[in-house]
Amino acid sequence: MERTLEPEWLDELPPDDPKAVRSRRDLKRLNWWMRHDSLMADALLRYSKGKSLQRVVDLGAGDGTFALGLTRKLVQQHPKVQVTLVDRQPCMGAETRDGFQALGCTVETVAADIFDWLTHAVVPPGTIFIANLFLHHFHEAELCEVFYLASKQVDLFAACEPRRAELSLRMAKLVGLIGCNSVTRHDAVVSVRAGFTKRELSDMWPTEGAWLLQEQRAGLFSHLFVAHRK
């Protein structure tokens, strides 16, 4: 399947539009079905073993519920981890903020376009970048820029994205069966067609520097990419 990019409806709706609110709720459910928080946490814990993980920056974090689920899995090994949620339209609810507080973690939201933020951010040591269902929004040239800027700032970058494969596409066409609304039904199919396969993301990661790159199918429908400085 060739990679194609089409606008996603959720990106174009105001965050408080009822259809957007409902679609973000659907995303929570889909993340749960696809086990993205576990897939990402396993990768992060493996690569951060014996190191101090101070801050997780979630690029394209949406309402922060994915980051909260992930943080729940990280705190046992990294109890003081701080979380930064970067999104063009951040929309974290009180419940999610309380969830971070209950874990003893600080959380901040940053309303910014990812390219502006990555260009200007000052990132302290011990920071890692993650992205969930986010990288597939971008063309190859944009991804190369995201990766170039990220590789200058962190030693660990992990992303969980849709896998561009027939099985994922078939599943995406069925999300209505678990109650997803029209926005989610549209975006799920568009996301798979814009997703990744093989070593497409590794091929866009900068070649300079000593990086270990891991890229593979994860779960049934997903694609995991981890870049780790040696």
Ligand X SMILES: C[S@@+](CC[C@H](N)C(=O)[O-])C[C@H]1O[C@@H](n2cnc3c(N)ncnc32)[C@H](O)[C@@H]1O
Q: Which residues contact ligand X by CB under 6 A?
A: 11, 27, 31, 60-62, 66, 87-89, 113-114, 132-134, 137
Give me the least distance between CB of 15 and ligand X, in Å please: 8
b/e map 142-165, b = 16+ CB within 10 Å:
ebebbbebbbebbbbbbbbbbbbb
Give me the least distance between CB of 169 and ligand X, in Å please: 17
Ranges of beta strands (E only) in 19-66 are 55-59
Torsion sign (Cα): 139, 185, 132, 59: positive
Q: Give, in order, the Cα–Cα distances in Å from 203 to each of 4, 59, 127, 214, 215.
A: 18, 20, 23, 11, 10
Q: In terms of CB distance, is 67 or 154 closer to ligand X? A: 67
Q: In terms of CB distance, is 114 or 156 closer to ligand X? A: 114
Q: Give, in order, the Cα–Cα distances in Å from 57 to each of 83, 104, 154, 184.
A: 6, 17, 10, 25
Q: In terms of CB distance, is 114 or 227 closer to ligand X? A: 114
Closest residue to ligand X using C-beta atoms: 62
Q: In terms of CB distance, is 59 or 156 closer to ligand X? A: 59
SS3 call for 194: coil
**Structural Rg of the chain based on CA atoms:** 16
Give me the least distance between CB of 155 and ligand X, in Å please: 22
Give me the least distance between CB of 211 and ligand X, in Å please: 23
| Amino acid sitting at position 93 | G
b/e map 193-215, b = 16+ CB within 10 Å:
bbbbbeebbbebbeeeeebeeeb
Give me the least distance between CB of 181 and ligand X, in Å please: 14
Give me the least distance between CB of 50 and ligand X, in Å please: 28
Q: In terms of CB distance, is 10 or 227 closer to ligand X? A: 10
Q: In terms of CB distance, is 123 or 211 closer to ligand X? A: 123
Distance, C-alpha 12 to centroid of its chain: 19
